């Protein structure tokens, strides 16, 4: 406001004098002198604590103290990077610092610096040094009893999903002595063996490409996989389509399930083929009324028997080295979502069970020596309710939850879907005299949020990844994503997944003698020691808990993902000379399995006790393994996989068994193998 002494308009000045607000008029009518405002206070920033002494895996809340007028606070950085990146750790917007793991050798003493910078004056900042150490601490008590809890370990737990034959795979299969190779995934649901062609479904705009394979069916991706598996003595697990449709050869490239020209504008389109939409209207609702014949044609179980007869003729039956196991399709609970161009209706109890029994009968008729695995359900919800129930529940108040109005389940005696499925397969065996289901099979994507298929991440994600392997077995582990299926409200509490004990209970209650399978899982970080530790822990759990078949989704590339390769080698080829973890699991206990996990087995071929130690913590841990009912005939051979050498499992000096045990230090996030002759 512009003014003068002669102005009739009053002028008010606001002065900041040591925090007191003084009001003065235009003319200073009281005669009191107008105070002179002080110069602005210089901004300074200090950070505490400084220095901070931390161990790996720890967190530290830093505080910024600002002197001067700086109402907008500070921004935080680690070694100059906002939020922190790479090997120096991460820091939140409020100053919570998370230490990194692993710690590169170049990071020591005060080489990590946390900085707070004034938002109001970015030239002013304060800093604190972080002294980071990896101390050796006393680990939990450990014990092995070679005469207790004995049960055979099925070698099929050391499997992988390969799907497409890659140049590196043969090398990988030989290096890890791969036991099982699964042909699976969304694309196998509509695979046409006669043409060697599939539709990508919702994975990529429902597109079919002409493979220009004039040698099909003899030359095909599946046949290449079977031939490769025969050459590496690997068991083949195939997938038989049950959806009722298979892909036809396209006249042009590509052919789409949801053409924009034919069906109108869609939410998303292929950036390389804009006529191919994602099957959703611009508002996100699914398109309906399309023609399934755009990409596919109908089939029934005779298509399966034709493929089976072809495979038996080409490779022999399962007993003579041909395809050993067949999955009953792949994740059928998602047919109405992933393959909704040909199967728009949600899956029901009757469709899953009737088709399963029908196609399993066809498989066993052609090759009685083959084994069948089902239902290949992937979702927690799908273990207990059908997708018909989900759709009903999502649209029904007051809760609008997947199990809120389970019309399909109630129509089938209110029996959970997996129980119903197994009970009806048992009834089919009783009536027909033939076991039609050999494995009860699920998929297990239960890694901590953000972990599966993801890089190692910051230390907090690494810790969560390792902690979440407990989903396979631990009755005290819960995750908010997996709530009580019997609570049909939107406030259902979390319950322990306990996947392998849950499988055992289903079998015991509904169809005794059925084997247990998890033929897809992924815990991420396959290129990092954290992912290797998680993978080794999972394989140890599989053997200890009595799983019969396991297959990692996403076979690791030996060129870029050696940590995951070495996690398998711990159990299959730890010395690069073919030595493997034992074939009979025995009792192995840790006072704190979450920090230092232990797995043990005896090897019949050379009377050796093998012990695998998995240090899941961020510190070196020293412990003694108490050995019971073990009479060693020589020193223990020792092998270590750690961040010190991500390319190899490294032989260590022998250790002598003394006083009925072995004492050793296990580096942070590492895997140690002991081989003790008996």
Condensed to tens digits (0 to 9), the pLDDT of residues 390-423 reads 999 999 999 999 999 999 999 999 999 999 999 9
Q: What is the pLDDT of residue 6?
A: 37
User: Do the beta carbons of residue 312 and residue 366 sit within 8 Å?
Assistant: yes
User: Do the beta carbons of residue 532 and residue 469 sit within 8 Å?
Assistant: no
Q: What is the pLDDT of residue 87?
A: 78
Q: What is the pLDDT of residue 56?
A: 84
Tell me the mean pLDDT in the region 544-564.
95
Q: What is the pLDDT of residue 167?
A: 66
Q: What is the pLDDT of residue 82?
A: 87
Three-state DSSP class for residue 563: helix
Tell me the mean pLDDT in the region 165-169.
65
Query: Which class for 167: exposed (0-12), middle (13-18), buried (19 or more C-beta within 10 A)?
Result: exposed
Tell me the mean pLDDT in the region 142-155.
98
CA dist 611 to 115, 350, 451, 588, 636, Å?
Answer: 45, 46, 27, 8, 10
Residue 3 scores a pLDDT above 50: no
Q: What is the pLDDT of residue 576?
A: 97
User: Do the beta carbons of residue 547 and residue 518 sit within 8 Å?
Assistant: yes
Residue 12 scores a pLDDT above 50: no
Residue 26 scores a pLDDT above 70: no
- Cα 100 to the chain's mean position, in Å? 21
Q: What is the mean pLDDT of the chain?
A: 91
* Tens of pLDDT, residues 272-327: 999 999 999 999 999 999 999 999 999 999 999 999 999 999 999 999 999 999 99
Q: What is the pLDDT of residue 29?
A: 43
Both tokens assigned to 420: 């119903």
Length of the chain: 678
Both tokens assigned to 28: 């200073």
According to DSSP, residue 291 is labeled: -
User: Do the beta carbons of residue 28 and residue 48 sit within 8 Å?
Assistant: no
> Which stretch of 26-40, 219-233, 256-270, 321-335 has the lowest confidence by average pLDDT?
26-40
- β-pairing verdict for 142-145 and 620-628: parallel
Tell me the C-alpha distance between 257 and 207, whole Å. 6
Tell me the mean pLDDT in the region 429-444.
98
* Tens of pLDDT, residues 44-56: 999 999 999 988 8
Both tokens assigned to 78: 């680690």
Residue 17 scores a pLDDT above 50: no
Tell me the C-alpha distance between 237 and 553, whole Å. 13
Could you tell me which residue, 9 or 398, shows the higher pLDDT? Answer: 398
Q: What is the pLDDT of residue 163?
A: 60
Tell me the C-alpha distance between 672 and 80, whole Å. 37
Residue 222 scores a pLDDT above 90: yes
Which H helix or E strand runs over 425?
Answer: helix 417-432
Handedness of CA 202, 203, 205, 211 (dihedral sign): negative
Q: What is the pLDDT of residue 30?
A: 45
Q: Closest Cα partner for 448 from 463, 434, 429?
A: 463
Q: Closest Cα partner for 243 from 341, 119, 176, 382?
A: 341
Three-state DSSP class for residue 399: coil
3-state DSSP: the chain helix, strand, coil percent, rounded to 5? Answer: 25, 30, 45
**Residues facing 144 on adjacent strands:** 588, 627
Residue 7 scores a pLDDT above 60: no
pLDDT band at 101 (very low <50, low <70, confident <90, very high): confident
pLDDT band at 110 (very low <50, low <70, confident <90, very high): low
3-state secondary structure 209-265: CCCCCCCCCCCCHHHHHHHHHHHCCCEEEEEECCCCEEECCCCCCCEECCEHHHHCC
Tell me the mean pLDDT in the region 371-382.
98
Residue 434 scores a pLDDT above 80: yes
Tell me the C-alpha distance between 260 and 265, whole Å. 6
Q: Where are the beta strands (DSSP E) in 378-530?
A: 439-444, 515-521
Q: What is the pLDDT of residue 84?
A: 76
* Tens of pLDDT, residues 127-136: 999 988 877 7
pLDDT band at 8 (very low <50, low <70, confident <90, very high): very low
In this prediction the pTM is: 0.89
According to DSSP, residue 414 is labeled: T
Residue 22 scores a pLDDT above 50: no
Could you tell me which residue, 664 or 37, shows the higher pLDDT? Answer: 664
pLDDT band at 1 (very low <50, low <70, confident <90, very high): very low
Residue 606 scores a pLDDT above 90: yes
* Tens of pLDDT, residues 498-545: 999 999 999 999 999 999 999 999 999 999 999 999 999 999 999 999
- β-pairing verdict for 13-17 and 245-247: unpaired
Q: What is the pLDDT of residue 33?
A: 58
CA dist 462 to 11, 82, 215, 585, 652, Å?
Answer: 63, 20, 47, 28, 27
According to DSSP, residue 332 is labeled: G
Tell me the mean pLDDT in the region 69-76.
90
Q: What is the pLDDT of residue 21?
A: 36
Residue located via tokens 């979450």: 594
Tell me the C-alpha distance between 262 and 292, whole Å. 13
Tell me the C-alpha distance between 405 and 587, whole Å. 45
Alpha helices in 2-136 (DSSP H): none
Query: Which class for 343: exposed (0-12), middle (13-18), buried (19 or more C-beta within 10 A)?
Result: buried
Both tokens assigned to 234: 């690997």
User: Do the beta carbons of residue 587 and residue 607 sit within 8 Å?
Assistant: no
Q: What is the pLDDT of residue 197?
A: 96
pLDDT band at 24 (very low <50, low <70, confident <90, very high): very low
Query: Which class for 521: exposed (0-12), middle (13-18), buried (19 or more C-beta within 10 A)?
Result: buried
DSSP per residue, 429-454: HHHHSS---SEEEEEE--SPTTTTTS
Both tokens assigned to 585: 């699991």
Residue 238 scores a pLDDT above 90: yes
Q: What is the pLDDT of residue 379?
A: 96
Tell me the C-alpha distance between 174 and 573, whole Å. 10
Q: What is the pLDDT of residue 69?
A: 83
Residue 450 scores a pLDDT above 90: yes
Buried b (16+ CB within 10 A) or exposed e, 448-478: beebbebebbbbbbbbbbbbbbbbbbbeebb
């Amino acid at each position: 406001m512009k003014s003068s002494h002669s102005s009739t308009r009053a002028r008010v000045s606001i002065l900041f004098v040591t925090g007191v607000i003084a009001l003065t008029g235009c003319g200073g009518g009281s005669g009191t002198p107008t105070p002179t405002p002080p110069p602005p206070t210089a901004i300074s920033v200090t950070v505490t604590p400084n220095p901070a002494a931390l161990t790996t895996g720890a967190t530290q809340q830093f505080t910024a103290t600002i002197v001067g007028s700086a109402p907008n606070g500070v921004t935080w950085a680690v070694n100059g990077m906002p939020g922190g990146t790479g090997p120096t750790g991460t820091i939140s917007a409020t100053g919570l610092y998370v230490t990194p793991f692993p710690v590169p050798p170049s990071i020591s003493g005060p080489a990590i610096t946390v900085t707070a910078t004034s938002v109001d004056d970015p030239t002013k900042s304060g800093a604190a040094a972080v002294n980071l150490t990896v101390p050796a601490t006393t680990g939990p008590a450990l014990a092995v009893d070679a005469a207790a809890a004995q049960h055979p370990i099925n070698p099929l737990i050391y499997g992988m999903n390969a799907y497409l034959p890659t140049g590196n795979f043969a090398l990988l299969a030989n290096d890890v002595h791969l036991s099982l190779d699964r042909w699976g995934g969304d694309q196998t649901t509509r695979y046409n063996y006669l043409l060697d062609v599939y539709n990508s479904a919702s994975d990529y705009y429902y597109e079919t490409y002409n493979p220009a394979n004039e040698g099909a069916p003899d030359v095909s991706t599946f046949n290449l996989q079977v031939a490769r598996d025969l050459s590496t003595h690997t068991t083949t697990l195939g997938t038989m389509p049950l959806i009722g449709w298979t892909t036809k050869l396209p006249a042009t490239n590509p052919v789409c399930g949801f053409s924009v020209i034919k069906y109108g504008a869609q939410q998303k389109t292929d950036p390389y083929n804009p006529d191919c939409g994602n099957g959703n209207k611009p508002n996100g609702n699914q398109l309906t009324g399309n023609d399934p014949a755009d990409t596919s044609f109908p089939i029934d179980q005779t298509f399966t028997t034709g493929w089976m007869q072809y495979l038996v003729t080409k490779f022999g039956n399962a007993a003579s080295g041909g395809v050993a196991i067949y999955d009953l399709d792949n994740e059928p609970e998602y047919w109405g979502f992933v393959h909704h161009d040909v199967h728009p209706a949600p899956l029901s109890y009757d469709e899953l069970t009737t088709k399963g029994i029908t196609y399993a009968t066809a498989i066993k008729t052609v090759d009685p020596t083959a084994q069948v695995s089902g239902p290949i359900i992937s979702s927690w919800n799908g273990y207990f309710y059908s997708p018909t129930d989900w759709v009903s529940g999502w649209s029904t108040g007051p809760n609008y939850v997947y199990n809120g109005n389970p019309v399909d389940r109630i129509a089938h005696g209110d029996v959970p879907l997996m129980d119903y499925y197994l009970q009806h397969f048992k009834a089919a065996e009783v009536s027909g005299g033939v076991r039609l289901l050999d494995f009860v099979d699920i998929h297990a994507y239960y890694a901590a949020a953000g972990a599966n298929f993801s890089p190692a991440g910051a230390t907090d994600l690494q810790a969560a990844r390792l902690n979440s392997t407990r989903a396979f077995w631990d009755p005290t582990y819960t995750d908010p994503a997996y709530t009580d299926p019997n609570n049909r409200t939107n406030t259902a509490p979390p319950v322990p997944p306990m996947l392998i004990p849950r499988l055992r209970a289903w079998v015991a209650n509904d169809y005794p003698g059925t084997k247990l399978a998890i033929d897809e899982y992924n815990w991420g970080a396959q290129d990092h020691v954290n992912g290797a530790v998680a993978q080794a822990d999972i394989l140890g759990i599989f053997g200890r808990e009595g799983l019969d078949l396991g297959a990692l989704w996403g076979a690791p590339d030996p060129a870029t993902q050696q940590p995951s390769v070495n996690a398998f080698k711990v159990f299959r080829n730890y010395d690069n000379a073919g030595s493997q973890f034992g074939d009979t699991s025995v009792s192995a206990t840790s006072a704190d399995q979450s920090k230092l996990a232990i797995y043990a087995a005896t090897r019949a071929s050379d009377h050796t006790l093998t012990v695998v130690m998995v240090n899941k913590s961020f510190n070196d841990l020293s412990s003694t393994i108490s050995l019971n009912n073990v009479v060693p005939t020589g020193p223990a051979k020792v092998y270590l996989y750690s961040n010190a050498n991500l390319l190899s499992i490294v032989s260590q000096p022998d250790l002598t068994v003394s006083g009925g045990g072995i004492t050793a230090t296990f580096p942070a996030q590492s895997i140690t193998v002991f081989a003790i002759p008996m």
